[in-house]
Amino acid sequence: MSSQDRIWTAGLLVIGDEILSGRTHDKNIAQIASWLQVQGIRLTEARVVADDMDAIAMAVNALRTSYDYLFTTGGIGPTHDDITVDAVAQALGVPVVVHPEARAILEDYYTDKRGGLTEARLRMARVPEGASLIPNRMSGAPGIRWGNVFIMAGVPGITAQMLDGLTGTLEGGKVLLTETLGGWVAESEVADLLRATEKAHDGCQIGSYPFFREGRTGANFVIRSTSQEALDACAAALGAGFTALGLDYRRGGI
Amino acid sequence: MSSQDRIWTAGLLVIGDEILSGRTHDKNIAQIASWLQVQGIRLTEARVVADDMDAIAMAVNALRTSYDYLFTTGGIGPTHDDITVDAVAQALGVPVVVHPEARAILEDYYTDKRGGLTEARLRMARVPEGASLIPNRMSGAPGIRWGNVFIMAGVPGITAQMLDGLTGTLEGGKVLLTETLGGWVAESEVADLLRATEKAHDGCQIGSYPFFREGRTGANFVIRSTSQEALDACAAALGAGFTALGLDYRRGGI
């Protein structure tokens, strides 16, 4: 594999009891996955763990050593259940320190707010020793980078700001391109066509995603490739296959 | 710990490229988490992996041996990218066989449908040897149980049907009860109160979930306990603490 074709990978660790209790619907997996795709990086695995030091530390070490990048979300606020920084530091084997720049950012942010920079708020300036900061224009408290580990907020709107600050700064590979064909058809009716089409088009993968809407059966077929040429050829072949079976389809999906 | 106090745990493995590409927002983590909570079982970890045999098999073995139950979602349809049954069988070290009852269900379901029970559709009757079936009234194809592993659909509506069929059949422990207090307050303003209140109430955990809505800062504080008495006492103390700080709050959250 040439270095141009190297596939860059990322793991994601979502931290928080609220996700595992079903109380909060996670939005960061989809948000970070979409952002990574544009950076030419593939989200290869995501994990969700509770607010538990050992569970977080174990997952951090498993994922940061398996993939090029590791992103975490959640657990970096000012309250007692925000233990992500401590757990990541434990995983990395470094102490937790107050980052002077983070402290200055928080001092500035809380100047006019009730109570000022309290002990609780100062918790948000704590980082694993050796870390740098990821700017966050929304709420003051920055994200944290340590080597290939990126520690982000749990609130999706804040994570979006941090991702924005990172856009274009990470090394990635070719962007995975997609083309979607959708039809009001049971996927089982075109299973043979899908398999044969994928087999005939090197470097393309076809995913089949069925749904039930308004009492009808349909499916979207998503072709993925890093080559626009291969993608176009595969989409054309799949479309021709649908037509030969007498099936309507729509490019872009339904 | 008495057997009455035993905590029953579950892992969840979400399988599918469409989640890791950001194309599809996962709904099964929250759905299964909420359902498990009512069964007295705690979702302790969730993982998302791609449609990749080895990745699935490795995660299946990690999770089924770590927790009392393992649920998987996705990859049990009729198309070439549906490889969950094969990957689980590989993890379990058993062959894949056609389950006669599943075959009969599918024969019946597809009798009146175009093409009948094709080879592709028959794929949905394949199970790891030794498995039993989980009924699915919605689309014919059943879920699969093998030991402590529950193989469910990816489409959330079908998964819901399968969960419904399983309700009350799994052994669990005490149900985790919750009480939520919400206020238009920065969580950093009450961080000390939260920490002290949790510390003073054995068997209770307090989670703090900040949000930004309509330009205002607020937070919900979720108290969790398996004891109603402890929960009530903790909620009363937290409420009194807010009042003492001159803060309004709402039971049930905002």
DSSP state of B47: E
Which residues of chain B lie closer than 8 angstroms to A176, CB-CB?
Answer: 21
- From A202's Cα to the closest Cα of chain B, the distance in A is 15
Question: Is residue A129 a part of any domain in this protein?
Answer: yes
Q: Say if residue B35 is in the same domain as residue B9.
A: yes
Give the A window 137-166 contacts with B, CB below 8 Å. Answer: 138-139, 155, 157
- For residue B138, the chain A residue with the least C-alpha distance is A212
Q: Say if residue B142 is in the same domain as residue B20.
A: yes
Interface A–B counts its CB contacts (< 8 A) at: 212
B117 versus A113: which is more confidently predicted?
A: B117
> Could you tell me the maximum CA-CA distance found in chain A, to the nearest angstrom?
71
Q: Say if residue A111 is in the same domain as residue A200.
A: no
Chain B CB within 8 Å of residue A201 CB? no
- For residue B50, the chain A residue with the least C-alpha distance is A44
Q: Say if residue A140 is in the same domain as residue A88.
A: yes
Range of the domain at B54: 3-166
Q: Say if residue A194 is in the same domain as residue A88.
A: no
Chain B CB within 8 Å of residue A130 CB? no
Question: In the numeric block, which tokens belong to residue A37?
Answer: 């795709």
Question: Is residue A172 a part of any domain in this protein?
Answer: no
3-state secondary structure (DSSP) of residue B238 = helix
Question: Is residue B56 a part of any domain in this protein?
Answer: yes
Q: Say if residue B18 is in the same domain as residue B139.
A: yes
Q: Say if residue B59 is in the same domain as residue B87.
A: yes
Q: Say if residue B209 is in the same domain as residue B102.
A: no
Q: Which residues contact A96 (CB under 8 A, 6 or more apart)?
A: A85, A86, A89, A126, A127, A128, A129
- For residue B222, the chain A residue with the least C-alpha distance is A18
Question: First-to-last CA distance in chain B?
Answer: 36
**What would the pLDDT profile of B144-173 be if each residue is shown by its tens digit?**
999 999 999 999 999 999 999 999 999 999
The span from the CA of A58 to the CA of B61, in Å, is 17
Chain B CB within 8 Å of residue A196 CB? no
Q: Say if residue A156 is in the same domain as residue A210.
A: no
Question: Is residue A223 a part of any domain in this protein?
Answer: yes
Q: Say if residue A214 is in the same domain as residue A97.
A: no
Please say which residue of B166, B200, B218 terminates a domain: B166
Question: Is residue B245 a part of any domain in this protein?
Answer: yes
CATH code at position A89: 3.40.980.10
The amino acid at residue B4 is Q
ipTM of the complex: 0.92
Phi and psi, residue A52, nearest 5°: -140, 120
Which residues of chain A lie closer than 8 angstroms to B37, CB-CB?
Answer: 21-22
CATH code at position A197: 3.30.70.260
B210 torsion bin: left (phi>0), alpha (psi -120 to 50), beta (else):
beta
> What is the domain count for chain A?
2
How many CB atoms are closer than 10 A to CB B175? 12
pLDDT truncated to tens, each residue of chain A (254 aa)? 455 579 999 999 999 999 999 999 999 999 999 999 999 999 999 999 999 999 999 999 999 999 999 999 999 999 999 999 999 999 999 999 999 999 999 999 998 887 889 999 999 999 999 999 998 877 788 999 999 999 999 999 999 999 999 999 999 999 999 999 999 999 999 999 999 999 999 999 999 999 888 888 899 999 999 999 999 999 999 999 999 999 999 999 99
Question: Is residue A61 a part of any domain in this protein?
Answer: yes
Q: Say if residue B122 is in the same domain as residue B196.
A: no
Question: Is residue B171 a part of any domain in this protein?
Answer: no
Q: Say if residue B75 is in the same domain as residue B136.
A: yes
Helices (H), B93-201: 100-110, 119-122, 156-166, 191-200
